[in-house]
């Protein structure tokens, strides 16, 4: 059984424990009703109105399973989601219109579709709170603390879930709707087997009942254990069934603090249960019972026919054996998503911190104003080596981080540059990995010169490119002064960098986007978007000592692309310069790629002296990577970063294009040496970067 959004279930979930009174121990697990007076450690946990359990990371973010936020067959995001922290039916009884809740508007997820393999590990998501209703966000004081290092192994845990049963689970509450879930008009005549209790809780104003939405109280399952954390996938033997998807697994540390070690994806085991049908029989595989191939047989102890069914289709809950590996439920460990960007606004690429020729991807988490990174692992990394989970760089004191660039210093260690909004203008901050300290340096500001003292420089965008000697230069677009500046960042960091003007007071430098690249002919190219969203290209002679920049050409648009949203330069597999851009109507038009003229030094024009206009190359399809899905969904692309895999061998170039979307997710496509282009966007949040 797959995790699906409609209807939502905990994948292959275990049957519920049968409890008669609060605190009773049944099926080896103590269960207690989650009430409004529950201890503080349970306060972050709540109910999603689609039937999942979720929990607060902070006042603006809610964590749950990925399949609680997306439809994993199509990759589409669910809409109309609301989160009710500390939900209890008594809150509805008091005031149906006053139940506190949050309206969710977007989410980042470990995967938007169910991929082959390791789905339990990637089945995590973090949603954003657009608005609180009947609640003051400032009054929120209890948030879930994620176990980001998994320093402790298996041991006792608690599992808190809004499963689809009443509490206590006795008498009429045990009745399950196993035939049809006919809650019209939402799912008329849809057959949904198992785990749907007939009892319904009171309904908050504006909500509805559904096959998954029963609006019952949550349950605290104690005295259960974390069985395994292998491959950072948690396995536990806590009672898990419909509604447990997204539920946190709580562990109390020796210092008395409570941490979330992971969340529930679903059950890992779906054993059959023999359900008697009342027909008498005399021998094993008695024909009177039915076809043995479909699970029918004869119970010789009672001489009664039965049919083997998954427990999720049985008429009553069944206690599961609590042996490790049997009946265990699973999900992603918290270390997988503890530092994942809540909203990735842009990314950059450089070498990993130890200086090895291995790819590191740096991203801005715009929600937290934090820079994070993932790096390729292994001592001798190649294209198939795994990436680490997201890890944070030092905190940035300024707020409103907007743009990012990265390159490598002379020793191969990465340098990272960001723009940060402060006092009405954007400044540049920089950091680098210090080999002597074996750590990242504290962020420090670097100022771009003011062309006019009355108009302070404000950096709208920046990029990094190497000169012919391998030095990293940062290019800054000063939108206030409509100019572009350049500085060598390989110089002594104990001094402020020396900035040189590249383009001064040009309408082509009036916009918000800038990209830079040195091609294999030694030319350095710049490209910008002006204030109207039109693309311009600039070129520089091969000799770095000659400051001979000039406005090369304005790249013509077409009726299909009125303007552009973002652009970047990169090398193709032959080392030639390519310009790739996102149209403003990118929801309907794929990425567009241009081939810049391949000219030797000094020859930048056509024979008649006119500029050689960049030629439009093949467009790049923009469909979501969704193996085995019934429909692919095109991401709403917002930014683009074109680079290469740094695992390339000498003489080899593997172009790689990263993009962020309107939801804050990160995707990539690549033309990996020996594999060719993969023209389907893959999620870079997923723990495995796949190749053909």
**What CATH number did the domain enclosing 216 receive?**
2.40.10.10
- Predicted confidence at residue 12, as pLDDT, reads 33
Provide the pLDDT confidence category of residue 541 given band limits of 50, 70 and 90: low
List pLDDT tens digits, range 560-593.
778 889 999 988 777 778 888 888 876 655 677 7
Angle at 43 between CA 5 and CA 101, to 5 degrees: 55
In the chain, how many domains are there?
3
pLDDT above 90: residue 52: yes
Which residue range is the domain that position 653 belongs to?
A: 560-683
Whether residues 251 and 281 fall in one domain: no
- Predicted confidence at residue 487, as pLDDT, reads 92
Whether residues 569 and 626 fall in one domain: yes
DSSP tag of 619: -
DSSP-based three-state secondary structure for 226: strand
pLDDT above 80: residue 406: yes
Whether residues 213 and 309 fall in one domain: no
Whether residues 666 and 604 fall in one domain: yes
DSSP-based three-state secondary structure for 590: coil
Whether residues 100 and 131 fall in one domain: yes
- Predicted confidence at residue 623, as pLDDT, reads 46
For residue 618, being part of any structural domain is answered with: yes
Contacts of 148 (CB under 8 A, 6+ apart): 334, 335, 338, 339
For residue 333, being part of any structural domain is answered with: no
- Predicted confidence at residue 370, as pLDDT, reads 95
Whether residues 230 and 288 fall in one domain: no
Whether residues 280 and 188 fall in one domain: no
Whether residues 196 and 279 fall in one domain: no
Contacts of 607 (CB under 8 A, 6+ apart): none
Domain finish residue from 227, 248, 267: 267
List pLDDT tens digits, range 173-225.
344 444 445 443 333 344 444 445 556 788 899 998 777 788 888 989 887 88
pLDDT above 70: residue 439: yes
pLDDT above 50: residue 692: no
Whether residues 232 and 282 fall in one domain: no
Distance linking the first and last C-alpha atoms of the chain: 27
For residue 197, being part of any structural domain is answered with: yes
Helix (DSSP H) and strand (DSSP E) numbers for the chain: 2, 46
**Could you identify the residue written with the tokens 């409004």?**
36
- 283 or 73, greater pLDDT: 283
Whether residues 307 and 212 fall in one domain: no
Average pLDDT over residues 608-613: 52
Identify the burial level of 409 via C-beta atoms within 10 angstroms of its C-beta, where 0-12 means exposed, 13-18 middle and 19 or more buried. Answer: buried
3-state percent breakdown (helix, strand, coil) of the chain, nearest 5: 5, 40, 55
Whether residues 260 and 112 fall in one domain: yes
Provide the pLDDT confidence category of residue 4 given band limits of 50, 70 and 90: very low
List pLDDT tens digits, range 292-323.
877 788 988 888 888 776 544 444 444 444 44
Average pLDDT over residues 671-692: 69
- Predicted confidence at residue 29, as pLDDT, reads 59
Cα–Cα distance measured from residue 272 to residue 313, given in angstroms and rounded to the nearest whole number: 10
For residue 239, being part of any structural domain is answered with: yes
Cα–Cα distance measured from residue 684 to residue 111, given in angstroms and rounded to the nearest whole number: 9
Cα–Cα distance measured from residue 555 to residue 587, given in angstroms and rounded to the nearest whole number: 22
* Lowest-pLDDT range of 119-123, 174-178, 361-365, 561-565: 174-178
Highest mean pLDDT (candidates 477-491, 572-586, 667-681): 477-491
Structure tokens at 36: 């409004």
pLDDT above 90: residue 404: yes
Domain finish residue from 229, 249, 267: 267
- Predicted confidence at residue 621, as pLDDT, reads 47
Whether residues 257 and 282 fall in one domain: no
Average pLDDT over residues 159-183: 54
* Lowest-pLDDT range of 77-81, 246-250, 476-480, 686-690: 686-690
Cα–Cα distance measured from residue 554 to residue 507, given in angstroms and rounded to the nearest whole number: 11
For residue 548, being part of any structural domain is answered with: no
pTM: 0.84
| Neighbouring C-alpha atoms within 13 Å toward the C-beta of 634 | 13
What is the pLDDT of the chain when averaged over all its residues?
Answer: 79
Residue 82: cis peptide before it, omega within 30 degrees of 0:
no
For residue 516, being part of any structural domain is answered with: no
- 603 or 662, greater pLDDT: 662
DSSP-based three-state secondary structure for 524: strand
Provide the pLDDT confidence category of residue 523 given band limits of 50, 70 and 90: confident
Cα–Cα distance measured from residue 57 to residue 267, given in angstroms and rounded to the nearest whole number: 24
For residue 362, being part of any structural domain is answered with: no
For residue 231, being part of any structural domain is answered with: yes
């Amino acid at each position: 059984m797959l995790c699906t959004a409609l209807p939502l279930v905990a994948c292959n979930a275990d049957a519920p424990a049968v409890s008669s009174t609060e605190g009773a121990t049944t099926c080896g697990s103590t269960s207690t009703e989650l009430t409004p007076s529950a201890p503080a450690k349970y306060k972050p946990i709540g109910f999603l109105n689609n039937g999942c359990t979720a929990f607060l990371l902070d006042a603006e973010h809610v964590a749950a399973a990925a399949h609680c936020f997306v439809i994993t067959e199509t990759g589409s995001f669910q809409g109309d989601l609301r989160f009710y922290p500390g939900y209890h039916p008594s809150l509805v009884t008091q005031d149906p219109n006053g139940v506190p809740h949050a309206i969710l508007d977007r989410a980042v997820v470990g995967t938007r579709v169910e991929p082959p393999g390791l789905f339990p590990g990637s089945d995590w998501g973090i949603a954003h709170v657009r608005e609180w209703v009947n609640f003051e966000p400032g009054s929120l004081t209890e948030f879930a603390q994620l176990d980001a290092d998994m320093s402790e192994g298996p041991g006792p845990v608690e599992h808190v879930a809004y499963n689809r049963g009443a509490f206590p689970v006795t008498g009429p509450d045990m009745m399950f709707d196993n035939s049809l879930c006919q809650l019209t008009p939402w799912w008329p005549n849809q057959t949904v087997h198992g785990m749907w209790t007939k009892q319904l809780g009171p309904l908050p104003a504006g909500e509805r009942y559904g096959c998954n939405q029963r609006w019952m109280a949550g349950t605290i399952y104690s005295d259960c254990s974390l069985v395994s954390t292998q491959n950072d996938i948690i396995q536990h033997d806590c009672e898990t069934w419909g509604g447990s998807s997204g539920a946190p697994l709580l562990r109390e540390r020796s210092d008395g603090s409570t941490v979330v070690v992971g969340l529930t994806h679903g059950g890992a085991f779906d054993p059959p249960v023999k359900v008697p049908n009342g027909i008498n029989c005399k021998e094993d595989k008695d024909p009177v019972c039915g076809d043995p191939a479909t699970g029918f047989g004869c119970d010789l102890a009672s001489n009664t026919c039965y049919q083997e069914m998954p427990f999720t289709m049985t008429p009553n809950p069944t206690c599961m054996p609590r042996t490790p590996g049997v009946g265990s439920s699973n999900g992603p460990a918290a270390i997988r998503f503890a530092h994942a960007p809540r909203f990735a606004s842009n990314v950059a690429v450089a070498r990993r911190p130890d200086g090895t020729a291995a790819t590191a991807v740096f991203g801005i988490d715009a929600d937290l104003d934090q820079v994070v990174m993932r790096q390729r692992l292994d001592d001798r990394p190649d294209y198939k080596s795994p990436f680490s989970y997201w890890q944070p760089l030092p905190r940035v004191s300024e707020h409103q981080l907007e743009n990012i660039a990265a390159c490598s210093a002379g020793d191969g260690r990465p340098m990272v540059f960001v723009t940060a909004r402060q006092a009405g203008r954007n400044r540049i901050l920089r950091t680098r990995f210090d080999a002597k300290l074996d750590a990242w340096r504290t962020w420090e500001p670097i100022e771009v010169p003011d062309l006019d003292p009355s108009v302070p420089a404000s950096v709208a965008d920046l990029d990094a490119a190497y000169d012919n000697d391998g030095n990293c230069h940062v290019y800054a677009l000063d939108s206030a002064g409509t100019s572009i500046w350049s500085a060598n960042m390989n110089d002594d960091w104990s001094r402020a960098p020396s900035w040189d003007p590249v383009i001064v007071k040009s309408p082509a430098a009036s916009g918000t986007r800038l990209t830079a690249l040195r091609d294999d002919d030694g030319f350095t190219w710049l490209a910008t978007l002006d204030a109207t969203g039109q693309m311009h290209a600039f070129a520089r002679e091969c000799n770095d000592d000659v400051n001979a920049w000039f406005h090369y050409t304005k790249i013509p648009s077409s009726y299909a692309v009125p303007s552009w949203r973002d652009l970047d330069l990169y090398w193709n597999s032959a080392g030639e310069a390519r310009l790739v851009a996102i149209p403003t109507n990118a929801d309907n038009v794929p990425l567009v790629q241009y081939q810049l003229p391949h000219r030797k030094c000094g020859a930048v024009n056509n024979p008649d002296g006119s500029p050689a206009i960049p030629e439009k190359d093949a467009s790049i399809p923009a469909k979501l990577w969704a193996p085995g899905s019934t429909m692919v969904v095109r991401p709403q692309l917002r930014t683009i970063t074109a680079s290469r895999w740094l695992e390339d061998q000498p003489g080899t170039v593997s172009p790689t294009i990263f993009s962020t979307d309107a939801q804050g997710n990160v995707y990539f496509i690549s033309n990996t040496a020996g594999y060719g282009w993969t023209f389907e966007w893959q999620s870079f949040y997923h723990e495995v970067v796949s190749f053909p």
